[in-house]
Amino acid sequence: MKAEALLYLWSDGLTVKQLRDALSVSQTQWIAIEEQLETKYGNNSGIVYAKHGDTRLFVTHEALHDTIAGLLHTRPQKSLSRQALEVLSIIAYKQPTTRMVVEQIRGVQSAGIIETLLGKNLIQEAGRLETIGKPYLYKTTDEFLRYFSLSDLSELPPLEETEDDRAD
């Protein structure tokens, strides 16, 4: 299948548009191809067809991660610091948002962490806010979805209401 070959070659994944254009297929045809990929590479396979936002790719089945890491003598992916996770979660729930909003919520300067998250492609610039200074807006990326094994943002857990929220 041509779609399998494309996804195999582009290990970082391809967008649905890139796949449809490369395969010269309609939306209806793409849906049928995608259903075949989901069936063939479902949870009973070592390789899984994954959807992360608009990106499609093959990944190894979660149950095999430790086995593969042991075989390759590699350490698992380095986790993000607590501070980076704080900034990332604020951006994920408030997106698009500015650095100033992140800093107001956290109470500390966050420019360095935002630069780190940009470098890891977990967030991206999403334009500028039409206000004095025109600060950058930030939003999460498909890499963010992949990092946390999410199909889309609707899979984020709901926020718990706090006393401050109820007072508003």
Q: Where are the domains of the chain?
A: 2-71, 82-155
Whether the predicted pLDDT of 53 surpasses 60? yes
* Residue 142 to residue 54: CA distance in whole angstroms: 7
pLDDT: is 136 or 46 the higher one? 136
| Range of weakest confidence among 12-16, 18-22, 50-54, 62-66 | 62-66
> pLDDT tens digit string along 138-164?
999 999 998 888 889 999 988 876 655
- The DSSP string of 32-91 is HHHHHHHHHTSTTSSEEEEEETTEEEEEE-GGGHHHHHHHHT-PPPPPPPHHHHHHHHHH
Size of the chain in residues: 168
Predicted TM-score (pTM) of the model is: 0.60
Fold (topology level) of 82-155? Arc Repressor Mutant, subunit A (1.10.10)
* Residue 2 to residue 24: CA distance in whole angstroms: 11
Whether the predicted pLDDT of 166 surpasses 70? no
| Range of weakest confidence among 73-82, 104-113, 115-124 | 73-82
Contacts of 103 (CB under 8 A, 6+ apart): 109, 110
Fold (topology level) of 2-71? Arc Repressor Mutant, subunit A (1.10.10)
User: What are the tokens at 85?
Assistant: 């996770």
Q: Are strands 97-98 and 136-140 parallel, antiparallel or unpaired?
A: antiparallel
What pLDDT sits at residue 163?
Answer: 59
Whether the predicted pLDDT of 85 surpasses 60? yes
Whether the predicted pLDDT of 71 surpasses 70? no
Same topology for domains 2-71 and 82-155, yes or no? yes
What pLDDT sits at residue 77?
Answer: 57
